[in-house]
Amino acid sequence: MTYLADLFIDGAWRPGGGGERFDVVDPSDLTVITSFAAATEADCMAAVDAAAAAQEGWAATAPRERGELLRAAYEVLTAEVEQFAEIIVRENGKSWADAIGEAGYAKEFFRWFAEEAVRIPGEYRLSPAGDKRIIVDRQPIGVALLITPWNFPAAMATRKLAPALAAGCTTILKPARETPLTAAYVVEVLRRVGVPNGVVNLVTPVPTGPLVAKMINRPEVRKLSFTGSTEVGRDLLHACADSVVSASMELGGNAPLIVLPGADMDVTIEGALTAKMRNGGAACTAANRVYVHSSRHDEFVERMTAELAALSVGPGLDRSRQVGALVSTSERDKVAAIVDTAVAEGATLVHGGTSSEKGAFYDVTLLTGVRHGSSINAVEIFGPVVAVVPYDDVDEVVRMANDTIYGLMAYVFGEEAEAVAVARRLEAGMVAVNRGVVSDPAAPFGGVKQSGLGREGSSDGILEFLEEKYIALSA
């Protein structure tokens, strides 16, 4: 397969002005897939110029037309889903099933926001005295900078591009350095279906931080939509403050998964396996802390260990493997260090715990006897590691679950009424009850506390790219 590996600025693919490139590595065997163009400051500024020049025309394009372009992109991605998944596997390392799952999820954002483009809401009201009219229009906020991580290189790009384009914003996509090829492919699909020049641009700035800050500080850039770590998110919020740029932030998670005494163990094991092992655990929604009631603890551990033993870890292009590679050897080593520290702090290694030498693989792993508050409970593991913490009392587990700066995702397994009651007490933007995966383009995705600001998907997602304008009529 040949890969698009250049910058996309003002409707044209081109190398970076400085001629520099960086390697994109296949994490399953550490070979170089290709090299990608590095964007200089001049390239980044050219992308902002192109987006700014296209903004007025794109905002004036009929919502139906914007929607139909997104729908056309959805159709192309549907027809090319295997090719799409293969690019994701090559640069990210995830399993084939995870890549097909992501490709399917990613393209759905184009379909969903194709439908939302023609449903942008406004308001019309009479003043309380009955003598004046209040009209509230929603208008595109302006040029949007979209920064995406490597763990879902397709879905995080489409979850931002689709609502931005539907709203009438022009865009600059900055994918993660590890996974620019998927982003380039998505951008090419938008070009192929006829999205006008300048409406979508793609840059991979080197060095990242300073050049992103320069783009944010261009007055034409009015929106930042970021998915990534809380640490980088905080820095970007500071950068946004300088020119009062609107920021939507999908940041880190530390999801608790709570198994209540009345849980159906078949449903729990299936759900917990998905909540933990989907994407090899490299998801901000992944179950990071597994709290199991002591009355169900041994049963849970025994059954989960048997499930893990049946999983095969290996290259994503080998479709018989259920768990793929982590994105890089440094991510693999981070996961290994987290597990080693957990064991040093008193946890018991029941299964796994090994890294491969040849690729960025980490074995599926289960730890028991993890203490609430130990280091593994405080960090995002981002790997296929189940960390089981026993508990005795429901009030205690709610307190432990909420004892984190994060608040993205939580899972509760139990008798439904009790599980919903616990769900209501959890400090999280999303709670799954008796299910292991929640992502849905029709649902608002996002976190509370330091997991983020704003929501993506649903009818809220487009609002992040729109601003209200109040028009006051005198009669």
Q: What are phi and psi of 473, to 5 degrees?
A: -105, 140
Rg (Cα) of the chain, in Å, rounded? 23
| Closest CB 129 distance from ligand ADP, rounded Å | 49
Let me know if 467 is a catalytic residue: no
Q: Are 14 and 6 in contact (CB under 8 A)?
A: yes
Task: Point out the catalytic residue in the list 86, 91, 250, 380.
Answer: 250
Task: Point out the catalytic residue in the list 91, 284, 380, 427.
Answer: 284
Nearer to ligand ADP, 99 or 183 (CB): 183
Contact pick of 209, 219, 346, 373 for ligand ADP (by CB under 6 A)? 209
Q: Does 229 bind ligand ADP (CB under 6 A)?
A: yes
Q: Are 335 and 381 in contact (CB under 8 A)?
A: yes
Contact pick of 149, 163, 280, 316 for ligand ADP (by CB under 6 A)? 149
| Closest CB 351 distance from ligand ADP, rounded Å | 26
How far is C-alpha 390 from the chain's CA centre? 30
Closest to 469 (Cα-Cα) out of 140, 170, 243, 223: 140
Q: Are 190 and 73 in contact (CB under 8 A)?
A: yes
Q: Are 411 and 269 in contact (CB under 8 A)?
A: no
| Closest CB 159 distance from ligand ADP, rounded Å | 14
CA distance 201 to 174: 9
Nearer to ligand ADP, 279 or 458 (CB): 279
Token pair recorded at residue 343: 């064991």
What residues numbered 282-311 form the site for ligand ADP, per CB under 6 A? none
Torsion from C-alpha of 264, 270, 271, 272, nearest 10 degrees = 100
Cis peptide preceding 27, ω within 30 of 0: no
Q: Are 467 and 172 in contact (CB under 8 A)?
A: no
Q: Does 157 bind ligand ADP (CB under 6 A)?
A: no
Q: Does 25 bind ligand ADP (CB under 6 A)?
A: no
Q: Does 281 bind ligand ADP (CB under 6 A)?
A: no
Nearer to ligand ADP, 174 or 191 (CB): 174
Q: Are 246 and 223 in contact (CB under 8 A)?
A: yes
Pairing, β 12-14 against β 7-9: antiparallel
Determine the interface stretch with ligand ADP among 20-28, 205-213, 395-403, 421-429 (rule: CB under 6 A).
205-213
Let me know if 284 is a catalytic residue: yes
Q: Does 459 bind ligand ADP (CB under 6 A)?
A: no
| Closest CB 202 distance from ligand ADP, rounded Å | 12
Q: Does 44 bind ligand ADP (CB under 6 A)?
A: no
Contact pick of 34, 55, 148, 368 for ligand ADP (by CB under 6 A)? 148
Indicate which residues carry an active-site annotation.
250, 284
Interacting residues toward ligand ADP by CB under 6 A: 147-151, 174, 176-177, 208-209, 212, 228-229, 232, 235-236
